[in-house]
Amino acid sequence: MDGDGKDDFTIDMYKKFAPAGSPERKRWFIYGNNEFDFNNYYEMTDTFYNVDLMYIVQDLNNDGKGELVFTNQGTHPYWFTEVMSFGTRPPNITPEYGLNTEYSSWADGFSPGNVNSDLYNDFIRHIPYSSMFLYLGGSPMWAEKRRAYGTSSSYYKLNFGGRVGDVNGDGIDDFCIGENAGTDHSSRPPGNLYIIAGSDVPNGIKEDEIKNEQELGLSFGLSPNPVKTVTNLSYSLPFDGELTIEIHDITGQNVYKTIFQKEKGDHTELIDLSRLTISSGVYILTLELKQGDKILSKSLKLQYMK
């Protein structure tokens, strides 16, 4: 974290039966050195909110230092569950970036390397237990996810991911994510491990995919559909603008609505229908994109199986 070319690490120290008045939880930051001397360390106690939920990731902004990820201490909107600080010695606990995790519960993240060929390491955050969010590294770093990866079936949960390097030899880092359906496979299928190939275009849009916006229109799809809990909404926008995503029941009553400012290109969102107070049945999902006087709208049927 201090840019000296030696890897550093951190340890969560938990003492269940701590003496009265002493910290129950504390964290050590140990900086790499030639002597393998681990007697010198920086200590943080549980006077810092969620000191146990801190971790180090590889350099994401190309300053030669790793970043520190920790719980939002109130410096960012509540839906930014985690924030990042630049690497220093001693550890820096002043947030430099916020991550819009869409108010998910805490979970670990990792850097898969540079998966989009822009010379910056990127970051993947586990969203328990349905998805993985990909954030692009940079200076400044993106606060919004660039991609969301969901499960292939409602049977599965996404529980882990990892860095695998350049698997196909194209000079771009790839990464893996894994899904499982528990240990009993008598009634549930076994899990899957996916290797996701990196993209050679920094913004994720290939030149031969860019068409005239009047020809391209607004396109999207859901997977899975029918839906038991979470569905992955993938969509392509022909221009920048305000995007409204709505779900109505067959009587026309609105049961879900969210509004984003989105850039032109491909996007994904995860919608957890189990959080809505709705019953099983057929619903209409509508996307509306607005930019000044230009308005595009498209709908499809969604079947929810509670």
Give the pLDDT mean for 275-297: 89
Residue-level pLDDT at 200: 65
Residue-level pLDDT at 142: 78
Query: Any idea what DSSP says for residue 236?
Result: E
Where is pLDDT greater, at 33 or 47? 33
* CB contact set of 163 (below 8 Å; sequence gap of 6+): 110, 111, 112, 113, 173, 175
Q: How far apart are CA 291 and CA 244, in angstroms?
A: 12
SS (H, E, C) 263-293: CCEEEEEEEEHHHCCCCCEEEEEEEEEEECC
Residue-level pLDDT at 129: 78
- To the nearest whole percent, how much of the chain has pLDDT over 90? 36
Is-contact 50 70, C-beta < 8 A?
yes
Q: Give pLDDT tens digits for 135-162.
A: 989 888 878 888 888 887 767 888 789 9
Give the residue extent of every domain in the chain: 1-106, 109-121+136-204, 207-304
Q: Give pLDDT tens digits for 41-91.
A: 999 988 888 898 999 999 999 999 999 999 999 998 888 899 999 999 999
Angle value at C-alpha 72, between 70 and 75, nearest 5 degrees: 130
Residue-level pLDDT at 201: 56
Global pTM value: 0.66
Q: How confident is the model at residue 130 (pLDDT cuts 50, 70, 90)?
A: confident
Is-contact 119 62, C-beta < 8 A?
yes
Give the pLDDT mean for 96-106: 86
Residue-level pLDDT at 104: 83
Give the pLDDT mean for 265-283: 90
Q: What is the CATH number of domain 207-304?
A: 2.60.40.2550
Q: Give pLDDT tens digits for 218-245.
A: 788 888 888 888 998 989 888 899 999 9
111 pLDDT more than 80: yes
Q: How confident is the model at residue 210 (pLDDT cuts 50, 70, 90)?
A: very low
Question: Does the CA dihedral 203-207-208-209 come out positive or negative?
Answer: positive
Give the pLDDT mean for 4-19: 86
Q: How many CB atoms neighbour CB 116 within 10 A? A: 21
Residue-level pLDDT at 245: 94
Q: Give pLDDT tens digits for 167-180.
A: 999 889 999 998 88
Q: How far apart are CA 151 and CA 159, in angstroms?
A: 10
